[in-house]
Amino acid sequence: MLLPTRLTATALAVALAVAALPGLLTTHAQATSHRAATPSTALPHQLIVGYKPGTPQATSDQAVKNSLHAQQRATPTYTFERRLATGAVLLSLPDNSPATALTAAAKQLAANPDVAYAEPDHILQTTAEPNDPRWGEQWDLWDEYAGMNVPPAWPRATGNGVTVAVIDSGYATHSDLEANVVDGYDFLSHAPSARDGDGRDPDYHDPGNWAEAGACAPGTPARDSDWHGTHVAGTIAAQTDNAKGVASTAHDAKVQPVRVGGACGALTSDIAEAIIWAAGGTVPGVPANKTPAKVINMSIGGPAPCATITQLAINYAVSRGTTVVTSAGNANADAATNQPGNCDNVITVAASDRHRNRGSYSNYGAAVEITAPGGTFNDNPADGILSTHNTGTTTPGQETYHALVGTSMAAPHISALAALILQLRPDHTPAQVQDVITTTASPITSCGDDCGAGLADATAAVRSLT
Ligand SMILES: [Ca+2]
Ligand SMILES: [Ca+2]
């Protein structure tokens, strides 16, 4: 073997076959803004109550007040605000009422035989679409059925203040991402496959990871550079509402490209040290990470038990409060067979397709925590995940956008969601971040327990915190 253990990217080119080399592991990006309501500008807790025609309360404000007065001996303090144009009345609860109090109060009022309906005065947000011209193709973000329901989350969180490390193939300069990139590092120690002429160095850019036929092992096919790390990073934090290219879930977060993957995959030893460095730990010979990551995305994997060194590195990152997200793998097999998704202390992400089923390629099973859009493996780019890319087949060419399919594309959706959560709850532990994501997901009926908690819902996750 050229390399003792190799990991490779978990992306599938839309029109290419899934299988690569047996024994190969595969590899994977972010953004934010925030708005905190202050007590002085917070909207009031109100209820809208319609009374049945013919009841005194239907026409008399005093009758409403009298009936509330009678009821309030055993209930919260309602205040009569005003009668609305429809004839319904507006009631308020004290400002310090918990969010759940509104629902409970509505239910209680509705039990009054004079009441036709009672409902919370829900607070809505503008849902203006971003002006990025490729937005219409990003079903993975906006589609309410098969996507991750992202846009309504944006008024509350966009990843501001959170850094997401992308342990992957490096970064090909892209003007729709550049403003959100912070310095990473090149951890690729094996100079012959690194394509940049040397081993480890501070340049985290992706020089290309193409391979000639037979270059990695006898009989291995030739392959073009896949710009995998750039694609993953774009899904997390491509610049959004900038009238260019694509949008992303965590577009005010920062992405930190940590390069481990070259022409023939990635070494477990490099990955382990990359995890430690990304989380803010010390790696001999490597300068300290000035912007340690709160989230690590590893869209990488291969069929093997979780390596001890990888588990130790993950445990270290988690002990530092860093959430580690991994792809489940693309073998249509039990995710327990694929590392590092089978390691403990990671959020392992399966992929769903354009029709809200498990992707035909996606690994599944008890090792999976959550599912996110990864696209349909077919010849239709519209069913894939569109993100930042490059035209080069070997060395970098021009920046472009390209659809890819795989669990590699699913994982960064969850890393981006983790960034939204961490903007709102900076002290949440990785276990708490995972809990927010899984408890607000919706089941994928056709997949059941094999897809973890189901399809993640960014808006539900964020709303559960605000
Ligand atoms: Ca290098
Ligand atoms: Ca854009």
Q: For 163-182, how does the pLDDT look when each residue is reduced to its tens digit (9 = 90+)?
A: 999 999 999 999 999 999 99
Active site residue 457: no
Query: Is 41 part of any domain?
Result: no
Which entry of 45, 190, 228, 413 is annotated as an active-site residue?
228
Same domain assignment for residues 87 and 159 = no
Residue 446 catalytic?
Answer: no
Q: Residues 260-291: pLDDT tens digits? A: 999 999 999 999 999 999 999 999 999 999 99
Residues 65 and 190 in one domain: no
- Same structural domain, 297 and 411: yes
Q: Are residues 94 and 194 in the same domain?
A: no
Write out the residue range of the structural domain in which residue 104 sits.
46-120
CA of 200 to the centre of ligand 2 (A): 31
Domain boundary among 120, 140, 155: 120
Q: 107 in a domain, yes or no?
A: yes
pTM value > 0.85: no
CB 204 within 8 A of CB 186: yes
Query: Is pLDDT at 39 greater than 80 in this prediction?
Result: no
Please indicate, yes or no, if residue 1 is contained in any of the structural domains.
no
C-alpha of residue 73 to centroid of ligand 2, in Å: 56
The count of structural domains within the chain is 2
Indicate whether 433 belongs to any domain. Answer: yes
Asked whether residue 257 falls in the same domain as residue 222, the answer is yes
Question: Which CATH number characterizes residue 59's domain?
Answer: 3.30.70
Domain C-terminal end among 56, 85, 120? 120
Final residue of a domain: which of 61, 86, 120?
A: 120
Model confidence pLDDT, tens digit, residues 298-315: 999 999 999 999 999 999
Going by pLDDT thresholds of 50, 70 and 90, the confidence category of residue 24 is very low
Q: For residue 219, report the distance from its CA to the centre of ligand 1, in Å.
A: 26
Ligand nearest to the backbone CA of 141: 2
Question: What is the predicted pLDDT for the residue at 104?
Answer: 83
Domain assignment present for residue 315? The answer is yes
Residues 236 and 303 in one domain: yes
Q: Is 228 a catalytic residue?
A: yes
346 and 274 within one domain: yes
Instruction: Say whether both 100 and 150 belong to one domain.
Output: no
Q: 234 CA to middle of ligand 2, Å? A: 9
Residue 184, domain CATH: 3.40.50.200
Q: Domain check: are 252 and 112 in the same one?
A: no
Which of the following is catalytic: 132, 168, 353, 383?
168
Q: Is the pLDDT of residue 30 over 50?
A: no
Tell me: do 433 and 455 sit in the same domain.
yes
Residues 95 and 139 occupy one common structural domain:
no
Residues 6+ apart with CB under 8 A from 325: 295, 296, 297, 298, 346, 347, 349, 411, 412, 414, 415, 418
Question: Same domain, yes or no, for 69 and 103?
Answer: yes
Q: Give the active site residue among 169, 269, 327, 408.
A: 408
Length of the chain: 466
